[in-house]
Amino acid sequence: MKRVWLRRLAAAGLALVLAAGSSAAWAKSEGKGGKGRENDDDDDRQERVVKFGNGRFGDLDLNFSDLDEADWASRYILSLAARRVFDGYKEGGFRKFKPNQPVTRIEAIAAAVRLMGLEEEAQAKKDAKIPFKDAGKIPSWATGYVAVAYEHDLFLETETAVQPLKPADRLWATVLLVKALNLEQEAEAKQNVELPFKDAQDIPPALRGYVAVAVERGLINGYDDKTFKPNKPVSRAELAALLDRTDNQLPDSQDTIRGMIAQPIADNKLVLQRGGETVTLNVDPNTFVFKGGARATLADLRVGDTVKVRLYQNTVILIEVVGPAQPSQQAFTVTGLYVSSTLNSRGQLSTITISRSVYDATYGQQTPQLAVYPVSSNVQIVGDPSLLIPGRTVELKGRQNVVEQVTIK
């Protein structure tokens, strides 16, 4: 089976950049997919209407009538639906996401393949032969996704059946997404790690490394009772959260931009600062905005906010604040687990993502929270850059939400 490097940032390459140019340079609420296809509209790709408020935009429809059933996950759901990674259903003239419905394995596989940027490849393999004993049970729309997932090693070597309509459980989904991040070797190296869960014995030894990596990366967490619940079915809303956290650890695609707001939004223009570069984007007046995990408006955005932006046809349709602006010139220090970094076009460190465990009063438990910080072009690296790997504790210091020093613990 082949393995390709899909828009992933090589950790070794990053370490070299830091060493050579540093001076210049789900436990909480995580997804329900029904039996059958995950997106009723994928086969024909017919024209659809998008409605942002009362607006219309292209053929993308993000008007789900049931998002209030899992409002905590709306930012994840909309972010993924905006990229057609994980979509909803048409039902009785309405668009529904069915957030609390258990997600099936085939839905999760299709979403993971799309997240990896392999949609076109999957569409080209609709007639591929599937090397699983239950190939006849795979819906025709999903054949290409299974073929691509198999070619890119998203299945365990011990799996002989896809079980497409079986609800995906937490352990199975965890393994799928760790594989989507191409972290099998890291997971295998952690097979003997001691997991901090009371029900760790319910996780097969060969898969414990996958759970360890996922927890370190902030993809998923345990419950307040110190359990992982590996066999618990995942809802569609929960899978959306897992997918979005996974996406945060992949380099930006053409429809995703991260940066710091450099100017107040005016005339539907968003100006971002990205590693010394300025980017100006057109904003749909009815774009979705999320800040502090809740819905917000364009007026709630502040200069200095670090944001993740989703584009559709070169126009901003979703903005999520992933790092709020700091008071002017106020120094800050934060500590967390290193997740990933991005480089600008000049090969300099542009952003750094860390995971911190934050208490969520809504759900009464700790949950992993990813924070993305822009990095100064003159950032100082303290410690051995080769040790900057996912799960390593780092301390970030800076001003105005811009990191000026990274200390590798």
Give per-residue pLDDT as tens, 99-133. Answer: 999 999 999 999 999 999 999 999 999 999 999 99
pLDDT for 169-196, tens place per residue?
Answer: 999 999 999 999 999 999 999 999 999 9
pLDDT of residue 401: 78
In a domain, 42, yes or no: no
pLDDT for 275-327, tens place per residue?
Answer: 778 889 999 988 999 998 899 999 899 989 999 999 998 999 999 999 888 76
In a domain, 39, yes or no: no
Query: Is 187 in the same domain as 121?
Result: yes
Amino acid at 222: G
pLDDT of residue 51: 41
How many domains would you assign to the chain?
3
Query: Is 84 in the same domain as 159?
Result: yes
Query: Is 95 in the same domain as 242?
Result: yes
The larger pLDDT score, comparing residue 35 to residue 373, is at 373
pLDDT of residue 5: 39
pLDDT of residue 28: 40
Query: Is 319 in the same domain as 332?
Result: no
In a domain, 2, yes or no: no
In a domain, 6, yes or no: no
In a domain, 258, yes or no: no
Phi first, then psi: give them for residue 190, nearest 5 degrees.
Answer: -110, 20
Amino acid at 151: E
Q: Are 298 and 289 in contact (CB under 8 A)?
A: yes
Query: Is 58 in the same domain as 155?
Result: yes
Percentage of the residues of the chain whose pLDDT score is greater than 70 = 83
Average pLDDT, stretch 26-43? 38
- Indicate whether 400 pLDDT > 80: no
- Indicate whether 14 pLDDT > 50: no
Exposure class string for 23-47: b at 16+ Cβ within 10 A, else e:
eebbbbbbbbbeeebbbebbeeeee
- Last residue of a domain, which of 323, 338, 353? 323
pLDDT for 136-175, tens place per residue?
Answer: 999 999 999 999 999 999 999 999 999 999 999 999 999 9
The larger pLDDT score, comparing residue 29 to residue 233, is at 233
pLDDT of residue 358: 63
User: What DSSP string runs through 177-246?
Assistant: HHHHTT-HHHHHHTTT---S-TTGGGS-GGGHHHHHHHHHTTS----TTS---TTSBPBHHHHHHHHHHH
pLDDT of residue 78: 94
Confidence bin at 6 (pLDDT 50/70/90)? very low
pLDDT for 339-378, tens place per residue?
Answer: 998 888 788 888 898 988 765 544 556 667 788 888 988 8
In a domain, 81, yes or no: yes
In a domain, 36, yes or no: no
In a domain, 271, yes or no: yes
Query: Is 334 in the same domain as 315?
Result: no
Q: How far apart are CA 400 and CA 50, in angstroms?
A: 37
pLDDT of residue 338: 93
pLDDT of residue 49: 36
Phi first, then psi: give them for residue 264, nearest 5 degrees.
Answer: -60, 145
- Last residue of a domain, which of 275, 290, 323? 323
Query: Is 197 in the same domain as 113?
Result: yes
DSSP H/E element including 171: helix 170-180
Q: Are 17 and 25 in contact (CB under 8 A)?
A: yes
Average pLDDT, stretch 13-34? 39
Query: Is 312 in the same domain as 398?
Result: no
Average pLDDT, stretch 208-227? 94
- Indicate whether 215 pLDDT > 90: yes
Average pLDDT, stretch 10-30? 40
Q: Are 99 and 69 in contact (CB under 8 A)?
A: yes
CATH assignment of the domain containing 357? 2.40.50
pLDDT of residue 286: 85
Q: Are 262 and 272 in contact (CB under 8 A)?
A: yes
Query: Is 165 in the same domain as 278?
Result: no
pLDDT of residue 57: 47
Q: How far apart are CA 154 and CA 113, in angstroms?
A: 9
- Indicate whether 4 pLDDT > 50: no
| Distance, C-alpha 406 to centroid of its chain | 23
Query: Is 72 in the same domain as 95?
Result: yes
Query: Is 113 in the same domain as 154?
Result: yes
| pTM recorded for the entire structure | 0.70
Domain that holds residue 387: 11-27+326-408
Query: Is 174 in the same domain as 76?
Result: yes
303's CB contacts (< 8 A; 6+ apart) are: 261, 262, 263, 264, 325
pLDDT for 232-273, tens place per residue?
Answer: 999 999 999 999 999 988 877 888 999 999 888 888 899 998
Percentage of the residues of the chain whose pLDDT score is greater than 90 = 58
What tokens appear for 11 in the block? 């950790």
Cα 308 to Cα 53, 247, 253, 255, 290: the distances in Å are 21, 11, 12, 10, 10
- Indicate whether 8 pLDDT > 80: no
- Last residue of a domain, which of 308, 323, 338? 323
Confidence bin at 58 (pLDDT 50/70/90)? low
